[in-house]
Structure 1
Amino acid sequence: MRSVELFAGAGGLAIGMANAGFDHAAVIEWNHDACETFRENQRHHMSSVERWPLFEGDVRKFDYSTISEEVMVVSGGPPCQPFSLGGKHQGYLDARDMFPEAVRAVRELRPKAFIFENVKGLLRESFADYFEYIHLQLTHPNLIRRKDESWGEHRIRLERHHTSRRVRSEYNVVFRLLNAANYGVPQRRERVFLVGFRSDLGVQWNFPEEKHSEDSLLHSQWITGEYWDRHKVAKRHRPTLALRQAARVDKLAELLNDSKEPWLTVRDALVGLPDPEKQPRNGIANHVFSPGARSYPGHTGSPYDEPAKTLKAGDHGVPGGENMLARVDGSVRYFTTREAARLQTFPDDYIFRGAWTEAMRQLGNAVPVRLAEVVASSVADTLLKMRGHE
């Protein structure tokens, strides 16, 4: 199944799409270091990316007529800084808002489906009107904004068009805020996914079921002890149960079975990786210790035995607290690029190019590969079933 990947970044969504069975007809990204990451992995024949046609440049200049074969799915993560909780919150006033280009790709390629993702901040109350506007544009991508028409005026015209009994939606669009930890990613990372299917296909689809939970993790740690046994942590070295978790654990003691798997933790993610501070010459790509980490109020690092906090991409260097490991003994250090890649569920043979701060920025902007694959696989299954009934 052919697909087109917009705003590819480090490739998290693109690799997840490939793992789900999609074959990219074009991968579009403007950031040079991110493109060098793709090229590096193509040079060493990393199977997921080896044959991707990479376009380094402004997506606004990409000519979709150069893609001759039918495109089943358009996917991508329009730059999220305009809506990020950690950014300047300018939204549609920010020149980096690329949702209009996502709509253009849908309009010109007319795929059977699309998958777009963005940061949780997109759902902020202050962006509610613009989020509705995005939703309406993706529902009716052929109702184009006129010259000299403001986005607010265009939204009103879309609303009137959408509520008219004489028209039918071009795409049926749903959205949901997904926590990556609930899908087997060792990181608390919330992303908004917008998924649409062409309305003439008549398909029914819903977001995949969550398969992991915090309750199951607490049960495996504090009721059965299976978590500590699996990691071969002696009882005398096991941390003390935090007060904030104690009440929940008391209730969990009554559970005989939980149908969901435990959340994965930082400890789970880093299995097999040596401590880069103690073994600096470890021979593992991108696994280099970076000094200077420090803890301060509100920025205390990710506890070893919980999913990591959301990895972030700072405009000026690496955000300290969000990208640190908080060891059991209370000390902190920065995650290496390889460790951050593990937390984002990139494969170990995927190499990141650029300085440490730039590689961490690529990872901070990325979609976890596993989360992308879960959503993409569900879309792929629906399209394959539809094709089987044609």
Structure 2
Amino acid sequence: MTDLFFRMGELFSGPGGMALGARLAAQEVDGIELRHAWANDFDRDTCRTYFRNILEPEFGESARLVDDSADLGQDGVGVVHQNVRDLDIDALGAIEGFAFGFPCNDYSLVGEWKGLAGTYGPLYSYGVKVLAAKRPKWFVAENVSGLRGANEGRAFRQILQHLQSPTDGVSYRIVPHLYSFDQYGVPQRRQRIVIVGIREDLDVEFRVPSPEIYEGVDVTVQTALTSPHIHPHAPNHEFTKQSANVIERLSYLLPGENVFSPRVLQVLPDHLRINTKTTISTTYRRLEPHKPAYTITGGGGGGSHGYHWVLNRALTNRERARLQSFPDDFIFEGGKESVRKQVGMAVPVLGAQAVFTALFRSFAGIEYPWIEPNITLERVLQAERDRAA
């Protein structure tokens, strides 16, 4: 069989979870050659992380980190640190594959849920512009589960329709699905919508990979963080200096409990209580060692850092990265809070690998166990009609 060669571009690339997952998938599937072409993110530390871990190992000194897409050039390989609104898409090189985890801020259930009316909601349209300009053979788009309900479902419908038909003369067969990544080898209960599209003129059909492929994979927190143990001097493994109050507060919590758990409220002294009307279930919540972690986030104040199941402390960034299935030799650039944001906003590596492996097997004509998608454009349209009735 002739090898299939894909140059891949990315918008909203993050530190490289999607890219590393795609690389590992290409190595896993015979007959697939993947070459990273260009990537873009608005955060400089994130771009430095992507450059260090994704581009330098593959291209060495020929890869570049630039602050303007025009400086990269049609034949250039690199990551562009630039606001996507200022990106010159036409200046970027040709690609056969495209990935983008468009910003989720306005679609997340933790927030105001502004959807398309928010600052970040319309940014998916820049991915549509790439599809229209570059016409890649495939794309992979990722966002939070709350995307389905934003703007009473209108936002999701619009996004799916635009991805299906980005411009006259090119269209894609799209397969949206709500994945729970703990079913695909990730030690974290992280639910995300992934939309895979294959250009309509290609005789290739993508099917959602079945979780049964990953049955038997240990996705428990304890295994993820202790097998093997993290080296004390591992990169990004700085411990947070916990206040005396935090240490004392955590000492009252059992695995899986948070400060609002019924038992904890009965025993927690008044000076350690959290006085708020918003009782978010992950506030100072301990992990459960024999289960996958709850969703790791990239921001938030006290009580939102993720907490060890028995030690009275927050997780380190290296531990968070393991729960996002990043290998220990993947080094994040920037200060501790910058790294925390990068880790929490990333696509889990093994989750991305599962999707890309199925995608590449589809192109290579290799059969694999699959399931029906739990989302279709037809159902989305019907749901919108039902709400309007």
TM-based fold match above 0.5: yes
For residues 299-346 of structure 1, the C-alpha deviation after alignment (integer angstroms, 9 at most, x for no partner) is 3221112111100122x54x624622222xxx5421111111111111
Matched, 1:296 2:259: yes
Output the amino acid matched with 2:288: P
Q: Secondary structure at the match of 2:259?
A: coil
Output the amino acid matched with 1:344: Q
Contact 2:116 2:151 in 1 (8 A): no
User: Which one of 118, 132, 138 corresponds to residue 113 of structure 1?
Assistant: 138
Output the amino acid matched with 2:187: P
Moved more, 294-303 or 30-39: 294-303
Moved more, 203-212 or 92-101: 203-212
Moved more, 57-66 or 370-379: 57-66
User: Which one of 17, 23, 26 corresponds to residue 18 of structure 1?
Assistant: 23
Structure 2: distance between partners of 1:366 and 1:92: 22
User: Which one of 121, 136, 140 corresponds to residue 165 of structure 2?
Assistant: 140
Going from structure 1 to structure 2, the CA distance change for 1:341 and 1:275 (only over 3 Å counts) comes to closer
Going from structure 1 to structure 2, the CA distance change for 1:132 and 1:339 (only over 3 Å counts) comes to same
Q: What is the Cα deviation at residue 124 of structure 1? A: 2.2
Aligned to 1:2: 7
Query: For 1:210-359, what aligned pairs fall within 5 Å after superposition?
Result: 210-211=211-212, 260-272=215-227, 274=229, 282-292=232-242, 293=246, 294=250, 295-297=258-260, 298=281, 299=283, 300-314=285-299, 316-317=300-301, 320-321=303-304, 323-327=306-310, 331-359=311-339
Structure 2: distance between partners of 1:120 and 1:49: 37
Q: Secondary structure at the match of 1:20?
A: helix
Structure 2: distance between partners of 1:347 and 1:325: 20
Output the TM-score relative to the length of structure 2. 0.72
User: Which one of 79, 84, 87 corresponds to residue 59 of structure 1?
Assistant: 84
Output the amino acid matched with 1:209: S
Query: For 1:114-129, what aligned pairs fall within 5 Å after superposition?
Result: 114-124=139-149, 126-129=151-154
Instruction: Tell me the matched-pair count.
Output: 304
Structure 2: distance between partners of 1:137 and 1:323: 37
User: Which one of 348, 352, 362 corresponds to residue 382 of structure 1?
Assistant: 362
Q: What is the Cα deviation at residue 40 of structure 1? A: 4.2
Contact 2:46 2:342 in 1 (8 A): yes
Q: Secondary structure at the match of 1:182?
A: helix
Moved more, 177-186 or 11-20: 11-20
User: Which one of 140, 156, 178 corresponds to residue 131 of structure 1?
Assistant: 156
Aligned to 2:266: none
Structure 2: distance between partners of 1:173 and 1:272: 38
Q: Unaligned 5+ residue runs, structure 2?
A: 1-5, 27-33, 64-76, 251-257, 261-280, 367-389
Aligned to 2:68: none
